[in-house]
Chain A
Amino acid sequence: MTLRIERSLDAPRWLRVALPFLSLILAAILSGIVLELSGHDALGTYRQIYSASLTSTGGLTATFVYATPLLFTGLAVAIAFRMRVWNIGGEGQLYMGAIGASGVGLLLGGWSQPLVIVAMMAGGIVAGALWAMIPGVLRAYLQTNEILVSLMLNYVAGLAMYLLIYDSQSFWRDLTSPTALVFPQGKNLLPAATWPGIQLGSFTLPLGFVVATVLAVLLFMLVRATRFGFEMRVMADSPNAARYAGMRTKRTILAVMAISGALAGLGGASQIGDFGHVLDPRGLEQAQYGYTGIVVAALALYNPLAVVIVSIFIGALTNAGFALQGPSFPSGLVGTMEGIILFSVLGGEILGRYRLRFGREPRHVTPLDAAGAEADA
């Protein structure tokens, strides 16, 4: 009896199902090693994360506060990456959405609440989509690398927010209240521009999360069940076939970019309407929801429905990061753990490619057999 490692073409079904869980266990072990090496108690930390994000008072509500933006940015990344359009500008598109939605909210604060909410959503969608059109147009018409362009625009969008609040007399900036004269800050939105959450006992479900979940279902259907979705999949998986079939690549790239940017922009609108009620450059920048959306989408294997589940999971981790922030739980730990989870899931693919086999040595292959096998192939 010997133990051999050999290639397998198809991973068995049970392994496909078990793989994500095996990866998570591996990630928990690796994160535990990092924690212990840096002088923290790994099991104690996991227990703290669990209680801060689930069982403590308000823990679950707070988890959804972080899950909501991650669901938007996760969907934005999922739809783009699934189509091999590498939009990593979710961060900047979210900022622009926040700028757009808060601008609309400030402007129309006197209207009736449902109208203001819809207008704010539209403001976020338009701002995010337009910002995403910059890398989209450059990619579609000049084949410019959209990874770098969308990423550079994240920094530009961040600086634009800072300019609006800290370094100009803009419409967004509070120029009257006494505290604002000392510490620059944004104007607060009126109550009509506040999005109502859905109250389920002590748990509050943000309106944004509901909207994003509906959008996740719509996106799933768009990809699976429409002609547009079919064309997108063909272009992503076999660009040559798409070209021979005469599909319009440019139009599809632009559409994917616009949808992706609109989703991230709506996430920015939700940041204003659901949670912040003011344009807060520092808060948005520290949260890094756009980049974390990449983690969410990759863990969900770019499936919009799975993004909903994963966003809650990563939202819980992010929430724990903010709730526990301090010497025993430094803020850098969250990204470290997210990175480890991502590496584990990516690395787990190798398990699907090789299998362990117990048994006799393979029979000796003669040159004649090998030639025969080649001819068969």
Chain B
Amino acid sequence: MNTDLVVSLIVSAIVYGTPLVLAGLGELLAERSGVLNLGVEGMMLMGAVTGFYASQQLGGPGWIVLIVAMVVAALAGGSMALIHAFLSITVRVNQIVSGLALTIFAGVIGLSTYAGQVWNIGGQHGLHQLNRVDLLGLGEVPIIGPILFDQDPFVYLSWGLVILVTWYLYRTRTGLYLRAVGEAPRSADAMGVNVTKYRYVHTIVGGALAGLGGAYFTLAIAPIWTAGLTAGVGWIAIALVIFAFWRPDVLVLGAYLFGALSSLGFTLQAYGVQMPSEIFSSLPYLMTIVVLAGASTTMARRRIGTPAALGVPYVREEG
């Protein structure tokens, strides 16, 4: 098989998989604390639009502008998540409805599109873009060079985050408490863990990661803003968490699989394969359905991974 084709497919799988890794990790943290946040798509779009706007407005060296833009995107995603956290943790409304409300509020028919219109950044070409960084000068090494050592900083950041989250979940005390809050909030509460605080913090951090994932589109993939540019990636990220059985390591592999599917069309077209673009475009969505159905047959037998208290508001019996 053609090595160039395979390498370029893997490289673009990583590029298109990175927003899924970031947003998926965020959703994983929120769900581990017991909060299902269906607002990922809206949070990503808010991150994408605010990050792009910040990068257009700020002056100074490119890399500082881009770092500030990423922080802005994370803050935007986090503040969107705060709305969901308040409604689902404090007011204890149905988490599905609250998350859908967030996606409508912030999503393609809502605030992200509105912000893009008010700021009038629709047709602008970005002034800054995150470029690939040749790490340790190994980018020229055949095959593994372009895959491992010649990516943009977002990709390295996402790898660092995967390791960090895995370590946090399974090797730290707070990570243990987090899992307890998601599995058995009453026991965690009895142990002295502040269930409400854990849920708020992880929902908001999850939103910040979704915001970063959104900003990847406008700061790294292509420096332009179009309304609704995530096109369902936020939803695929939610599906990915289920498919990964709530484990960060499996999540990365899944994200790159979907990244490969998302980019398959471009790659094959570049190699001269003719087919209507709609067929290629529908592949990630169809694949999500197939994978979810496959995962659910396994899970139905032994409920692997699902945090037991996912989606259930915690009420402390008191006075």
Interfacial residues, chain A to chain B (CB-CB below 8 A)? 7, 34, 38-39, 81, 86, 88, 134, 138, 142-145, 147-149, 151-153, 155-156, 159-160, 162-163, 167-168, 288, 291-292, 294-295, 298, 330-336, 338-340, 342-343, 346-347, 349-350, 353
Contact = CB atoms under 8 A, between A and B. Distances in A.
A148 B235 contact: yes
Nearest to A148: B239
Contacts of B232: 151-152, 155
A70 to B, nearest CB: 13
- The DSSP consensus for interface residues of chain B is helix
Given A152-B285, A168-B276, A295-B101, 19 more contacts: A7-B319, A134-B289, A144-B292, A148-B288, A151-B232, A152-B286, A153-B289, A156-B285, A294-B104, A295-B104, A331-B114, A332-B116, A333-B114, A334-B109, A342-B105, A343-B105, A346-B91, A347-B87, A350-B90
A138 B295 CA distance: 12
B271 to A, nearest CB: 20
9 contacts: A39-B118, A143-B300, A148-B288, A152-B285, A294-B100, A298-B100, A339-B101, A346-B87, A346-B91
Contact of B87 (A144, A153, A156, A343): A343
B83 interface: yes
A152 B240 CA distance: 13
**Interface range, B side:** 35 or more
B115 A332 contact: yes
A342 B104 contact: yes
Contacts of B299: 143
A295 B289 CA distance: 25
A353 B105 CA distance: 25
Contacts of B115: 38, 332
Given A142-B297, A332-B117, A346-B98, A149 B289 contact: yes
B112 interface: yes
B196 interface: no
Contacts of A291: 103-104, 109
A155 B87 CA distance: 28
Contact of B293 (A7, A142, A162): A142
A339 B105 contact: yes
B288 A335 contact: no
Nearest to A298: B97
B113 A349 contact: no
A355 to B, nearest CB: 14
B235 A151 contact: yes
Contact of A142 (B38, B114, B296): B296
A142 B232 CA distance: 23
A81 B231 CA distance: 24
A224 to B, nearest CB: 22
Contact of B277 (A39, A167, A338): A167
A334 B108 CA distance: 11
B227 interface: yes
B286 A156 contact: yes
Nearest to B38: A147
A251 B168 CA distance: 43
A336 B110 CA distance: 4
Contacts of A333: 114
B97 A155 contact: no
Contacts of B286: 152, 156
A156 B114 contact: no
- The DSSP consensus for interface residues of chain A is helix
Contact of A288 (B108, B279, B289, B293): B108
Contacts of A39: 118
Contacts of A156: 282, 285-286
Given A292-B109, A332-B112, A349-B93, A144 B100 contact: no
Given A145-B296, A148-B238, A332-B114, A339 B104 contact: yes
B117 A339 contact: no
Contacts of A340: 105
Contacts of B93: 346-347, 349
Contacts of A152: 232, 235-236, 239, 285-286, 288-289
B54 to A, nearest CB: 17
Report which residue of B98, B104, B227 has the largest number of chain A beta carbons within 10 angstroms of its beta carbon. Answer: B104
B74 to A, nearest CB: 21
B91 A349 contact: yes
B101 A346 contact: yes
Interface in B103-133: 103-118
B312 interface: no
Contacts of A148: 235, 238-239, 242, 288-289, 292
B161 interface: no
B96 interface: yes
B87 to A, nearest CB: 5
Contacts of B281: 159
Contacts of B96: 86, 147
B238 A38 contact: no
A16 B288 CA distance: 42
A145 B292 CA distance: 7
A162 B276 CA distance: 10
Contacts of B38: 147
Nearest to A160: B278
A152 to B, nearest CB: 4
Nearest to A139: B296
B114 A159 contact: no
B23 interface: no
Contacts of A336: 105, 110-111, 114
A298 B293 CA distance: 28
B102 interface: yes
Given A81-B97, A159-B278, A332 B113 contact: yes
A233 to B, nearest CB: 16
